[in-house]
Amino acid sequence: MKRVTINDVALRSGVSKSTVSHVINQTRFVEEQTRLKVLQTIKDLNYRPSSIARSLVSQRTGTAGLLISDVGNPFYHEVILGVEDVALANDYSLFLCNTGYDLDRGMKFIHSLIDRSVDGILFMSSSMNVEMLDEVYRNNIKAVVLDWGGTDVSQLASTITIDFNTGICEAVQHLVSLGHTRIAFAGGPEGLWTANIRTQAFLNAISQCQPAVEGIVIPHGNLRIEGGYKAFDALSNLSPRPQAVIAANDLTALGLMWAARNAGFNLPRDLSIVGLDDIDLASRVTPALTTITLPRFEIGRLAMQELLALIREPEQTKSNHVVETYLTVRESTTAAPITV
């Protein structure tokens, strides 16, 4: 049960290895008759070239690493699909590297990817650092970094940043058009960059888009459902209570929603809620969640496309893409009660 090699094909078709190779890769002219014979033999023997051997000579593997904090995070789900979509279409295979928010584990993965000579690495994990990027760069491996809050890495990699301002601005305008004048924002954990950037975008949106509106930040969330419960308590204690709230992510929004209902609220009448992320669940709860959508599938595609560009045109300068967010209106927002 030995592997069929190019030699077997050559021998069986009475030609040399190089002819077989050229037939396969269409890399020089081969007489039609011999070409057909070779092709037939390949079929007969069910021959498939070893990409290992190919990689050794071509110095390219057709593989990339996908460094990600947590596959289970609904945010990444469609991002991964987008990445994979482009990868598959370009005959690239992806190594899954789930850091679990652990830097050491991340470094282990990076080394393993370097050893395996991947052509590129997609950094989609907050649990990365410049050291990793440096090491990757020194090994001449291309990298694309998604929405990282750390120091400037544009010398080492291409980057993709998500612009929360556009979406949050739309959300604020939407709420204002519904008559809301006090809008709360249920933020994430204080130390977390990905959370801070969202809170900041909210404050920007208020001052830039609707300076007349009063924006109230409810801090210390945790970007999970329980955080939404707590945010609801905090919100309830405000006086006067805001009738509209934008959450730092959809899970927080769902937590708010469920806590509000448990407190006897009629939704959306008593409280307009806007999420952020547009996870699967968002459109499937009742009332369906109005939320700020991140085009995640497109982000994934873009990231992989950029990586391929970097790999294929080594001279190409690294780019910094910005992806905009936008509001998706569903049922969880409604007109503010009329104040008499």
Which of DNA, a second copy, none sits in contact with 212, Cβ below 5 to 8 A by type?
none
- The reply to whether 1 sits near DNA by the rule CB under 7 A is no
- Amino acid symbol at 90: N
Least CB distance from residue 170 to DNA, whole Å? 50
Which of a second copy, DNA, none sits in contact with 104, Cβ below 5 to 8 A by type?
none
Least CB distance from residue 32 to DNA, whole Å? 8
Residues that bind a second copy (CB under 8 A): 1, 3, 46, 48-53, 55-56, 59, 61, 63, 66, 71-72, 74, 77-78, 80-81, 84, 88, 91, 93-96, 98, 100, 105, 108-109, 111-117, 138-140, 224-226, 258, 261-262, 280-281, 284-286
From residue 54 to residue 83, what is the string marking binding to DNA with x (rule CB under 7 A)? Answer: x-xxxx------------------------
Nearest to 296 by CA among 276, 311, 313, 312: 276
Q: Kindly give the interhelix angle for 193-209 and 164-177, rounded to the nearest 10 degrees.
A: 50
Which of DNA, a second copy, none sits in contact with 280, Cβ below 5 to 8 A by type?
a second copy
Query: Quick one: three-class SS letters along 173-203?
Result: HHHHHCCCCEEEEECCCCCCHHHHHHHHHHH
Q: Which is nearer to a second copy, 126 or 166 (CB)?
A: 126
Least CB distance from residue 277 to a second copy, whole Å? 13
From residue 226 to residue 255, what is the string marking binding to DNA with x (rule CB under 7 A)? Answer: ------------------------------
Nearest to 222 by CA among 249, 198, 186, 188: 188
Least CB distance from residue 55 to DNA, whole Å? 8
Q: Helix, strand, coil shares of the chain as percentages rounded to 5?
A: 45, 20, 35
Please state whether beta strands 326-328 and 290-293 pair in parallel, antiparallel, or not at all (unpaired). antiparallel
Q: To 10 degrees, the CA torsion angle through 264, 268, 274, 277?
A: 80
- The reply to whether 24 sits near DNA by the rule CB under 7 A is yes
Q: Which is nearer to a second copy, 208 or 286 (CB)?
A: 286
Contact between 247 and 253 under an 8 Å Cβ cutoff? The reply is: yes
Which of a second copy, DNA, none sits in contact with 285, Cβ below 5 to 8 A by type?
a second copy
Contact between 64 and 280 under an 8 Å Cβ cutoff? The reply is: no
| Gap between the Cα atoms of 205 and 217, Å rounded | 13
Nearest to 308 by CA among 131, 86, 51, 44: 86
- The reply to whether 27 sits near DNA by the rule CB under 7 A is yes
Least CB distance from residue 45 to DNA, whole Å? 11
| Gap between the Cα atoms of 300 and 102, Å rounded | 22
Give Cα separations from 46 to 19, 38, 211, 313 (angstroms): 18, 12, 69, 34
- The reply to whether 3 sits near DNA by the rule CB under 7 A is yes
Restricted to residues 39-58, the positions that interact with DNA (CB under 7 A) are: 49-50, 52-54, 56-58
Residues near DNA (CB under 7 A): 2-3, 5-7, 14-19, 21-22, 24-25, 27-31, 33-35, 49-50, 52-54, 56-59
